[in-house]
Amino acid sequence: MKWNNKKTLSAVLILLLCAVALVVVAGCGGSTTTTSQASTGSTGAAQPTGEPVVIGAIVSATGPTAALGEQERNVLQMMEQLINGKGGVLGRPLKIVIEDDKSDPKEAVTAANRLIDQEKVVAMIASTGSPSTLAVKEITATKGMPQMAMAAANDVTDKAPADWIWRTPPKDALAVSKALDYVTNNLKVKKIAVLHDENAFGSSGSAEIEKDAPGLGLEIVANESYKTNDTDLTAQLTKIKGASPEALIVWGTNPGPALAAKNMKQLGMTIPYIGSHGIANATFIKLAEDAAEGVVLPASKLLVPSSITNADQKKVTDDFIHEYEVQFGGAPNPFAGYAFEAVSLLVNAINTAGSTDAKAIQSALNSTQNFWMPDGAYNYSATNHDGLVAEDMIMVRIQGGTWVLAQ
């Protein structure tokens, strides 16, 4: 059959194309690994010997949260070499086995089971996004294995079982309390309005604001919502404008908050715009352009490294940024920082515990005090697995297309 031949031919062509693409991708991945290996290994410390200490890591290197996960994977690879260059863990080499969950909780579960059953990992670093992190948490809690989380949803540490999970990023509730603190103490206003995304991030942020506001003497005069891909928000903003608030808090991730900023400008609304940490990225500035100017938002100190005043924190941050720039050629984003902190805290706990026994690592993590990292001093305890406090975040203002300290 003639058409059948044609079809087979095109199928073969497509397969060939896929194969070529795969080779190219694999080639790139391979070459990064080799160059990074070549650039280290001469720090002069005692060579680690014996059986490696194996830590499992799950990041979202592909899929929707890949922009965050890629930097985390970079850092994990970098840290393995750095730590082994400095004598390893317990005198033994450190081995970090990295799995990609493709931003999918189901994949994260498969990866976690594989790491535990086949790689025999002693602890887990997982994962980039909150859904994957929460999925892996169920497994580590059942097995009694320490897990370092790099995701910010409140439920990661607020919801039981939380005995085996510790986190490095400031949780969403901290960002809310930081933003409300700015409204109360810096803007000194009483009447606020809330505009939030209807997704999990936006609505949990809005609920947190509703919960905290009365205690601070703040009155919420309007609370409106939108869908992530809504095409125009002037209706919501007209309603908010009608309630005459003195400041507007917008809780969501791009592109909604950028649209809100543009629409506010159109409506001639000049009240202060306070964003969430979800827009602490260049995308917001690029989308909202002029309308982004003057927007204030909570963020990690890594966004404005010059805001760090503590000497210990400054040193560890400068060293981290330097190492990252040497290896990867650009500045690390806050997510790279979370991965750096996860490895550092975990390795410190294993060294303190003096063994790779899960219970020993658990009690070492729980007794971590004043451990300075780029995001602040981590203080874990049996009941507090968050480490950071609201004061570890900063409020930044967008000015001239970049971030400056607002407080």
Partner 1 sequence: MNFEQFLQYIFSGITNGSIYALTALGFTLVFNATQIINFSQGQMVMLGGMTAIAFHGAGVPLWACFLGAVIVVVVISMGLEHVAVRPLLSKGVLAQIIATVGASFVFETAAMIIWGRQALALPAFSGERPIGVAGATVVPQTLWVVGLTVVIVVALQIFYRRSLFGKAVRACAVNPSAARLQGISYRKVVLFSFALSGAISAAAGVMITPISFMSYSSGALLGLKGFAAATLGGLGNPVGAVAGGFVLGIVEALGVGVVSAGYKDAIAFVILLLVLFIRPVGLLGARVVTRQ
Q: Given the rule CB under 8 A, which residues bind partner 1?
A: 64, 66-67, 198, 224-232, 234-236, 238-239, 241-242, 254-255, 258-259, 262, 265-268, 283, 286-287, 289
Question: What is the closest distance, in whole angstroms, from the C-beta atom of residue 246 to partner 1 in the complex?
Answer: 19
Q: Which residues, including other chains, have CB under 8 Å from residue 338's CB and lie 6 or more apart?
A: 72, 150, 168, 169, 375
The pair of structure tokens assigned to 120 is 């025999």
The DSSP letter of residue 406 is -
CB of 282 to partner 1, least distance (A): 9
d(CA 328, CA 193): 42
Hey, is 196 helix, strand or coil? strand
Nearer CB in complex with partner 1: 244/384: 244
Nearer to partner 1, 65 or 327 (CB): 65
**At closest approach, how far in Å is the CB of 111 from partner 1?**
21
Min. distance of Cβ 225 from partner 1 in angstroms? Answer: 5
- For residue 286, the tally of other CB atoms under 10 A from its CB is 12
Taking the least distance from each CB to partner 1, the nearer of 170 and 245 is 245
Token pair for 54: 């194996």
Collapsing DSSP to helix, strand or coil, 330 comes out as coil
* For partner 1, the closer CB: 101 or 323: 101
CB of residue 220 to partner 1, shortest distance in Å:
13
Q: What whole-number distance in Å separates Cα of residue 332 and Cα of residue 327?
A: 11
Neighbours of 222 (CB within 10 A): 19
Question: How far, in Å, CA of 318 to CA of 386, rounded?
Answer: 23
124, containing H or E segment? strand 123-126
| Token pair in block for residue 123 | 């602890």
Phi/psi region, residue 237 (left: phi>0; alpha: psi -120 to 50; beta: rest), is: alpha
Question: Please, which residue, 59 or 121, has the CB nearer to partner 1?
Answer: 59
Q: Which amino acid is at 272?
A: P
Q: Which is nearer to partner 1, 113 or 266 (CB)?
A: 266
Smallest distance, partner 1 to C-beta of residue 399, A: 20
Nearer to partner 1, 63 or 87 (CB): 63
Q: Smallest distance from the beta carbon of 179 to partner 1, in angstroms?
A: 21
